[in-house]
Structure 1
């Protein structure tokens, strides 16, 4: 696999000279007992000892290198070597135990071997390559997770939609903008990946302490700085600056990050010629103050503004088959303005009255103000291309099938405030752990929804009445080259009630409500003598919502068994009720009205898993397999267009999702993690009264396969490569306003390969011969190739009518082609 990847990256170097230069030996404790899994390395390149404590490590000849020996709970050791070519040297070490005992939180984390969660390392996040890198980008490569747009940070988990995923930062739930309708408008997510210390993800069967969503939970912890640090990241897509330090005799820590992103590189490659002005900015701060050894005060704040402005000019899209090649030319007039501004602040107080107890009190406020203003007119021509290779007009339009126009208009505004007070607690009694919590949440939402769409497929509009009041102009005549003819125009009609509009919505809504939640859970490890260890987690969660006076109770449980075998395996089963009381978007129907009788959607999870830690090539690997079934009730049907979800606001469906997820991860290359994941699933729903039975939901992506692979040059580990491969089958879709029964088509399969090359100029902990670079703790530069194979992927369709045949054509909206990005990351 290494040779294949090296050939792909055109970075082949001889491995022979280095392979002949080697250190080897044995690592043990002071009692001469071998240490299994101890790390022996040089910089970021390392190997692990086997069960006998033995290791072998290839090294670069003719250079002075520092070798380190380390293992969890042992004091590390180092030595320096400088070997000649072909020399082999034995180095043995005895490591001493650390004097300090493990704290309470470490004891809790040891039970994570039984948890139904995936841990993602920070190094893997830093190495990930893609237009949407960071935490969400790497989460998309995990089993059960699917995504069909590189322009969006949103993801679907086991058939759920974007609104069914929980995201926590430092124990506080965070939200995404409500009105975003496509990935290029989305901007940055809440999570700043450069501030992260720990990432845990569960695709289902999660514990009662996590909130009321039906699909998944992403639990992120920001780090507490230990010393001064400054990191800077810059690329053609934007930049990120993070500052960290400690003050007041190390009692105060500050972690502050500022980000800027522009999608100009991505948007400029799309079919639409336009004046794009995307500006996404964000600043975050995480500050802690150790008042005493038992009390800690923390603050987490965020301000984000995502501006997306575009003045479209024209669009040319070729589509169809060899037998029927078509071209759509569109000329635009108008503009689009989107402004999504969020503010967030959370104050927390943590008390540790005992070594085995932690009590947390939090207050937080989230506000989002969002506006969508657009008024865009389009005049189009659909033509048939000349496919005769011998013709002088090959590839040009030979016959016009349809001409027409459309107009999209919106003045949407939303202002939402979510404030809450919460308490959570943890009590660790050794083998038994208790967790509990309670929260009161207030919501105040104001929404003004005014939107309409006019489609003119015959060259004119047919009004419903008289008394015309004229407004804008729309071109209706084209010359032989497909350009609009000035002066030959028809007028469009201003008053909506005098037009046959394709869609028209108008509403003003205000919602005030209170949610009260509480949970308690207990987990325990039960030794079963020679059989192994049994672990269980049982909990119950309750939520009451004042809007519809509904109270839902969610019992959840999981049980894991680790047999006392030579192989390190864990068998796991999890089940539970996962109610999702509606948030605002589920309550608003397609016409903009509010359903005051809306109820919580319900999902019952059944997850059976197998977790296997093993060694391949004397390196650590892990294989995880999960089979799941989810039973849905009181579902709210919805339509999906790009990342926009439009609910029907009625609990009139039931359904199910079932599938299997598989993942293997480990050190395919010594010292760095890579993985591959495979998911096979289906999700279906049965809508009451339509007589169609069970049909696929809009997120029914049957097969998903991903690879995240890292490598480095054997002769120089400072040259590295990272690759992401994604393949997913197409999603169901249908014409505009289609019912579930009419979604009989599927998007083309999503296929994509992103690859990045990097060179570490200055490694952390190592001196550089150029003294000026020693001012940096680390420095590296990289080149990224997005969509390496230049595959044309489709995200959605624009529907155009041929008035002569009454036929509708689905014109694909393509995603980004092959693009090049450069990157610089410096740390002080």
Structure 2
């Protein structure tokens, strides 16, 4: 009898497992067709069955359907039009993504069902809801990119800077767009503590896309990456207020009916931000009075004139003020048996201000067409930056040897003075530049016809023509005096010499012309595969250096639909040229090279994206992305990095390459809490033309020739992780962990960094920031607590953040001390130490 029961149980299990295996999986996201906001609690069910699921708070769903059968999938939600889609038979255990935009009942918009899985040419797309929770000292969107984007690191600026490096490129090699408008930044910033608020306001952002290389021809002419930000199209009134020890922010969004028709609306976004890093800067080695004040006002308004025309207006005023009166500095460094300390006393102060203004106007035409839809867009924008540096600081320094023997009575005392002197820095720099541009872009989709109902195809042609005028007015007046042991350097018996003097006046007025044309062909057969090939070419010409650039680019994406795994492949290649901007043209002595040619590169990128599920009882979706790349670089303008300032040679004097591989996994490691892990390996090298580079081996006094040397951004390993968790029985209490590790960046001797180039490295950068958030109020509690103090808000959060939890001394650069005997000492400039921040956020 027992054997019979056991046999019956095994048979039942076999039938159950067989039934489970005869399934296919449908995943996707349900959004509002008007506002693009995710819709929660939407019902997805198989018609004429009781199989159904609901969407989560982020609009995502997962449902199992019978394999090898035609299925009608229904989508419904109170207040929205119900819709359905017919799914062709799918293989066993295969996966398909079906995204649906539901239209409100009172609108004339049709429901949009998108079954394509292939995404745009390798761009990583993210919503910003989870990104707002990442603990960051800058409050800028760019500071979170290393946690979500492939091959991205924060460089030498660390937590004080929003600059980022991508796959061996510096910050100037990155494109940034907001609603198709190109974004620029101040040029004279030399240290992370001077940086204010960047343009993208995270409270106004709907979503973002990021490509780490191999991007399409429709994006501009840079060597490394593109960040494409889209602002919201609000349909209802919302607002928020945030405040912390590091500043505050507020925003307002909504829409107004501009006529009797529902489609005629004015949608508006307003954002205001304020930041001060005085609390953070108090942990630096250089003590004194820090007064940094950064503010930003921004708006984006759209007017739907009628069904076909839309007018858009974007505006921004950004002001950064940095005042610093140093008093003294104590920095300890060296080895266990040879400890040194730099002690300095200061006189004077530094006053910097950077003011940028930007305004843009767009006019978009999208006619209501069912067949071969197209769009036309016209953009005009102007950007102005006024930058002033005023520095007059005298430092009396003493370089000392410190007793490092723990058992000695004089432990920590000064054993002797290795050197002393005066370092006097004087700067009066004024830069004004204006950028004005006009652009037309458009696109048309030509839909293919097939007798086979399972096959669809289309061509999407895009084009653009752009004219840009640039005007630069630059006054440079800076010098540095170094006195060592009573002797001015360089030493001269007949006169007192300054160590470095730059006095220049540069004026420049030029025009750039650029255009592109691109075709994206998409083909899909439900029972077979889907692929997309995008091929385009860019052309640009600059009337200053008279250089014509032609850069073809191509991307191929392929996804098999018969595979059990939800996986897609990407291959991209092309030529990427970067015409010089004013910064690249200006040599260290302030002179301008107007014949400077564009820096050039060839990208080859290959990778895959795989979606998979983990967990037995309640499986959660994860995404794995990996890309390998190689970039050949020529006509490079060599440079050195001091803190965050990039000092170019002003010459096309180098060749190089970058190669590596990146990995990323993201998903809900904890149900309901998205997390990311990024790991990258990089090797980027260069050689200066006409220079035989040498490298010293340990124990050798003479160098041996090497083929190439590290570029300033050569960072072998970068690892970043953002992880979220919450209490098992209380999801209102969350933890946000931000972990970053990066191997040391190279540097060389100041003024002697050519033959023995970038032979030293900073210590590895590693940092942990952690935050604890508690949901004080949610409007869903109004029934239980109608008289709560925060009942007038939708959500109210209180967060406690601990920056640099492990109190690691990371390095941002060096202060160079030179003795009369021509000896250099590199004194490390350390970044911030541990700080606790309290943050509150109210959503209305």
Do the two structures share a fold, i.e. TM-score over 0.5? yes
- Alpha-carbon distance between aligned partners in 2 of 1:102 and 1:578, rounded to the nearest angstrom: 43
1:247 CA displacement: 2.0
| CA–CA distance in structure 1, aligned partners of residues 575 and 428 of structure 2 | 39
Question: Is the Cα–Cα contact under 8 Å of residues 774 and 799 in structure 2 kept in the other structure?
Answer: yes
Report the Cα offset of residue 512 of structure 1: 0.5
Match of 1:161 in 2: 170
Within 5 Å, which residues of 2 pair with 1:134-149? 134-141=140-147, 142-148=149-155, 149=158
The answer for unaligned runs of 5 or more in structure 1 is 1-25, 54-70, 79-94, 468-497
Query: 1:299 aligned to 2:313?
Result: yes
* Per-residue deviation, 1:677: 0.9
Partner of 1:365: 382
For 2:291, which of 257, 261, 277 is the aligned residue? 277
Counterparts in 2 of 1:178-193, with a 5 A limit? 178-193=187-202
State yes or no: 1:728 paired with 2:742.
Answer: yes
**Cα distance between partner residues in 2 of 1:157 and 1:103:** 40
Once residues 133 and 305 of structure 2 are traced to their aligned partners in structure 1, the CA distance between those partners, rounded to angstroms, is 37
TM-superposed deviation, 1:582: 0.3
Instruction: Give the 3-state SS of the residue equivalent to 1:712 in structure 2.
Output: strand
Counterpart selection for 2:469 from 442, 445, 455: 442
Structure 2 CA distance for aligned equivalents of residues 775 and 406 of structure 1: 57
Counterpart position of 2:761: 746
- Deviation of the 1:827 alpha carbon: 1.2
Match of 1:662 in 2: 663
Residue 45 of structure 2 corresponds to residue 28 of structure 1: yes
Aligned partner of 1:408 in structure 2 is: 425
Quickly say closer, same or farther: Cα 1:698–1:386, change in 2 above 3 A.
Answer: same
Following superposition, the deviation at residue 34 of structure 1 comes to 4.5
Contact 2:318 2:356 in 1 (8 A): yes
Cα deviations by residue, 1:79-112 (Å, 9 ceiling, x for unpaired): xxxxxxxxxxxxxxxx999578997996899565
1:577 paired with 2:578, answer no
Contact kept in structure 1, 2:482 and 2:498, CA below 8 Å: yes
Distance 1:103 1:687, change over 3 A: farther
Tell me if structure 1 keeps the 8 A contact 2:481–2:489: no
User: 1:312: which partner in 2?
Assistant: 326
SS at match of 1:231: strand
Which residue of structure 2 lines up, in the alignment, with residue 151 of structure 1? Answer: 160
| Corresponding residue number in structure 1 for 2:792 | 775
Q: Which runs of 5+ in 2 are unaligned?
A: 1-42, 67-72, 81-98, 259-263, 448-457, 694-706
C-alpha distance after superposition, 1:618-676 (max 9, x if no partner): 11101011000001111110111111001111112111100000001111011221111
Moved over 6 A (4+): 99-109, 462-467
Tell me which residue corresponds to 1:458: 485
Q: Which of 539, 543, 548 is matched with 1:542 structurally? A: 539
Mapping of residues 248-287 of structure 1, within 5 Å: 248-249=257-258, 251-287=265-301
Superposed CA deviations along residues 278-310 of structure 1, whole A, max 9, x for unmatched, are 010110011111111111111000001100010
Change (3 A) 1:293 1:503: same
User: Contact (CA 8 Å) 2:576, 2:603: kept in 1 or not?
Assistant: yes
Cα shift at 1:72: 9.9
Further displaced range: 454-463 or 405-414: 454-463
Deviations 1:92-150 (A, max 9, x none): xxx99957899799689956525301112211221111212442122121320011310
Q: 1-side partners of 2:377 and 2:768: how far apart?
A: 44
Shift of 1:51: 2.2
Q: 1:406 to 1:620 in 2, by over 3 A?
A: same
Secondary structure of the 1:150 match is helix
Q: 2:182 aligns with which of 157, 160, 173?
A: 173
* Residues 1:608 and 1:502: Cα distance change in structure 2 (over 3 Å): same
1:619 aligned residue: 620
Query: What is the CA-CA distance between 1:771 and the residue it aligns to?
Result: 3.5
Q: Is the 8 A contact 1:285 1:301 kept in 2?
A: yes
Tell me the distance in 2 between the aligned counterparts of 1:627 and 1:106: 35
Corresponding residue for 1:512? 509
CA distance, structure 1, for counterparts of residue 384 and residue 647 of structure 2: 22
In structure 2, how many angstroms separate the alpha carbons of the residues matched to 1:515 and 1:673? Answer: 43
Distance, in Å, in 1 between the alignment partners of 2:110 and 2:752 is: 56
Distance change in 2, residues 1:455/1:241 (3 Å): same
- Post-superposition offset of 1:800: 1.9
TM-score, length-scaled by structure 2: 0.83
CA distance in 2, matches of 1:130, 1:570: 33
User: Deviation string for 1:295-339 (max 9, x for gaps)?
Assistant: 111100000110001011110111112101111100011111111
Q: Secondary structure at the match of 1:522?
A: strand
1:682 corresponds to which residue?
683
Identify which of 110, 113, 124 aligns with 2:119. 113
Query: Helix, strand or coil for the counterpart of 1:637?
Result: strand
* Conserved? CA contact 1:47–1:670, under 8 Å: no
Offset from partner CA, 1:404-457 (integer Å, 9 cap, x none): 111111111100000001111122334221211111000010111121112212
For 1:288, the equivalent position in structure 2 comes to 302
C-alpha deviation, 1:808, in angstroms: 2.3
The answer to whether residue 811 in structure 2 is matched with residue 811 in structure 1 is: no
- The equivalences for 1:525-674 within 5 A come to 525-527=522-524, 530-564=527-561, 565-617=563-615, 618-674=619-675
8 A contact 1:30–1:96 mirrored in 2: no
1:125·1:134 contact (CA, 8 Å) conserved in 2? Answer: no
* Cα 1:642/1:73, change in 2 over 3 Å: farther
Say if 1:523 and 1:536, in contact at 8 Å, map to a contact too.
yes
Aligned residues: 736
DSSP-derived class of the 1:365 partner: strand
Aligned to 1:238: 247
SS of the aligned residue for 1:683 comes to strand
Q: Deviations over 1:349-407 (max 9, x none)?
A: 11112432221111100000001110111111111112233444321212111111111
CA distance in 1 between partners of 2:115 and 2:270 (Å): 27
- The residue aligned with 2:770 is 755
**1:398 correspondence with 2:411:** no
Q: Distance in 2 between matches of 1:529 and 1:296?
A: 36
Q: Which residue of 2 aligns with 1:472?
A: none
Counterpart secondary structure, 1:608: strand
CA distance in 2, matches of 1:350, 1:97: 22
Whole-angstrom distance in 2 between the partners of 1:206 and 1:198: 18
SS at match of 1:456: strand
Q: 1:464: how far off? A: 8.0
What is the SS of the residue equivalent to 1:51? strand
